[in-house]
Structure 1
């Protein structure tokens, strides 16, 4: 009987010891799950803008005669190079030459009148000095002389104007450049100011594009854009926005934007070019892979890792949109957060995890840089 009691006690003790060792084994065997994480960074969605235009000279001049007339000569054709002061067209100046002759005759008559009134004034001065004539007669002679001088000056001005009209019968260029357009032919009667010849001045070239009103705020004077020329696929130039139209075209509702180009002999006037720029589309957000998203009821969440304790925590987020492989997060995450990207179905609150070594090194470097910045401040 005594032996049976002792045996029972020994068995109970053995079972108790076995239970304690199992409990200790469970505590020691706490699961530490390795995870794959990413450090989220802020991203800004940029929308690509591409517009086609043509290459123009920065300065183009539409030359026209300063007088009316019938064109008798056109001395240049499209594509010809001209130098400053070179004649490009002429009109018939027969009537203007006749006006010059008439003005010369009027000037000669006015000069004779000046001579006649000068003699009369001299005679009136002598008579008045000898007291043979009243002062009023002298004053009348002086007035007639002044009127004659004024008439002579007017005749001289009329002659100069008539001569200018003759000179204006020859159309000359103001700058050196290339003829890009001819708007009148020999025998055509043109009015003063009508464009006859268009000259593209040598110097800086630019691309003009039409930008719709919903994209115009993406362009600012001085902004750098990429310019490619269709005739040369390997040619890419860095241009700068020079000018933006102050108002939209009333029919197309687009704004004319001029982009200055660097000097390159491979870019010729009239070539087709494309202007590429980008526009910010929406506020700055963070992106995570779709595999990082989990769902609890109606709530979308991600699992973030606290690097100091190596534990995971569920964090609700608000998804802005998807782009096929990633999700843009509008609320819930900030740059620098570590997010679990694989095995989210095995996560639970405060679960111990093992971070990859590169993630730990990167996080330590971030903490150290933040601490250095704080000390610097």
Structure 2
């Protein structure tokens, strides 16, 4: 409502007052028309799940791995296999220099020959003594002494024979052989290296059952018991999914990482190769269900943590005190104050006032009530 200057000059004082009051009424009416209805982005707290999913990554390995080494000392002269090569039981994997052990065999043979000649000699003496004793030309002591010498010679011969067998075994041990079928996974020593008995030279992953080794933190280890069914996925093939079973749980935590080693058996599948990265998923019950909200939804009023909830019927917002349980990388865990079905302002909380009229912008996103380590929902 506007009055021209010429009209104002023609009005008496009373008329000017009335006109001024009219202009004030128009301004108030215009202010009421401009009441702010603020668009807001919100999330809805969805119903919590009774279970949560635990996921850990690990590598595929053979259930049994044999670190093979020579049973004798020596210098490696040949390595006959490479990493990744499949070997069969009895295949020669490496050799050490057999020269010294061949000499030991020759020496043992000579000692055995000497022992056998000694047995023949004392046997003749024993028989002669026995004949003389039976004819009373020799005393019983002489006969017993001859018999004792014979027995000692026989024992020496048997010892020499055992020494020869042992020397022959030493020669056999110069060949390192695979004791089972499998795949060579590592080489610990190579040609020219002098190794001691038992030093790991070649590691063979035995054919058969495969497993995944994962590390589980102590707060979740109670969810993994031998025999528990889990799901195994593989980074190399998203379509490959297998049902696994927990086979073994370590009895103590690793002193460095404070995690427990858990072995998960996998069914035999040719698509699963050693060394693949696998993801093991296991379900666990939610003992404590917490609501997860975005960090941007959290506000503070009178030193109290609050969120702004939307009254769907009146399209107004209201402050609601909450109890924060924890902060996470993906949001805030709320222990008290919210329930499934509540609509919470997710952004722009600094512009909210009690009973402020709002308009929901872009619909309502779902924010799940989750366990303490659950994933926060995303705004849409």
> What is the TM-score with the length of structure 2 in the denominator?
0.64
2:96 to 91, 99, 105: 91
1:49 to 49, 54, 68: 54
Q: 2:182 matched to 1:177?
A: yes
1:226 to 228, 231, 251: 231
2:252 to 247, 255, 259: 247
Q: Distance in 2 between matches of 1:168 and 1:57?
A: 26
| 1:293-332 alignment runs, 5 A limit | 321=336, 325=340
Question: Which runs of 5 or more structure 2 residues have no equivalent in the other structure?
Answer: 1-46, 291-309, 312-333, 343-380
1:154 to 159, 163, 167: 159
Q: 2:79 matched to 1:74?
A: yes
Q: Following TM superposition, by how much is the alpha carbon of 1:284 offset from its aligned partner in structure 2, in angstroms?
A: 9.6
SS of equivalent to 2:268: coil
Q: Distance in 1 between matches of 2:95 and 2:118?
A: 38
How many residues are treated as equivalent by the alignment? 260
Question: Which runs of 5 or more structure 1 residues have no equivalent in the other structure?
Answer: 1-41, 292-318, 328-377
Aligned CA distance change for structure 1 residues 214 and 284 (closer, same or farther; 3 Å): closer
> What is the TM-score with the length of structure 1 in the denominator?
0.65
SS of equivalent to 1:178: strand
Q: Following TM superposition, by how much is the alpha carbon of 1:279 offset from its aligned partner in structure 2, in angstroms?
A: 2.2
SS of equivalent to 1:153: helix
Instruction: Kindly indicate whether the alpha-carbon contact (under 8 Å) linking 1:44 and 1:282 is maintained by their aligned counterparts in 2.
Output: no
SS of equivalent to 1:121: helix
Note the alpha carbon deviations across 1:153-172, whole angstroms, 9 max, x for none. 11111111111111000000
Q: Following TM superposition, by how much is the alpha carbon of 1:187 offset from its aligned partner in structure 2, in angstroms?
A: 0.5
In the alignment, which residue of structure 1 is the partner of 2:220?
215
Note the alpha carbon deviations across 1:95-139, whole angstroms, 9 max, x for none. 111111111111111101111111011011000000011100000
Q: Distance in 2 between matches of 1:62 and 1:46?
A: 42
Runs ≥4 in structure 1, deviation > 3 angstroms? 42-45, 319-324
Aligned CA distance change for structure 1 residues 183 and 120 (closer, same or farther; 3 Å): same
In the alignment, which residue of structure 2 is the partner of 1:309?
none
In the alignment, which residue of structure 1 is the partner of 2:109?
104
Q: Distance in 2 between matches of 1:323 and 1:198?
A: 57
Note the alpha carbon deviations across 1:297-350, whole angstroms, 9 max, x for none. xxxxxxxxxxxxxxxxxxxxxx964676359xxxxxxxxxxxxxxxxxxxxxxx
Please identify which structure carries the higher helix content: 1
Q: Following TM superposition, by how much is the alpha carbon of 1:50 offset from its aligned partner in structure 2, in angstroms?
A: 0.9
Q: Alignment RMSD, CA only? A: 2.7
In the alignment, which residue of structure 1 is the partner of 2:366?
none
Aligned CA distance change for structure 1 residues 281 and 136 (closer, same or farther; 3 Å): same
Q: Distance in 2 between matches of 1:323 and 1:191?
A: 68
In the alignment, which residue of structure 2 is the partner of 1:119?
124
Q: Distance in 2 between matches of 1:271 and 1:226?
A: 15
SS of equivalent to 1:252: coil
Instruction: Kindly indicate whether the alpha-carbon contact (under 8 Å) linking 2:62 and 2:274 is maintained by their aligned counterparts in 1.
Output: yes
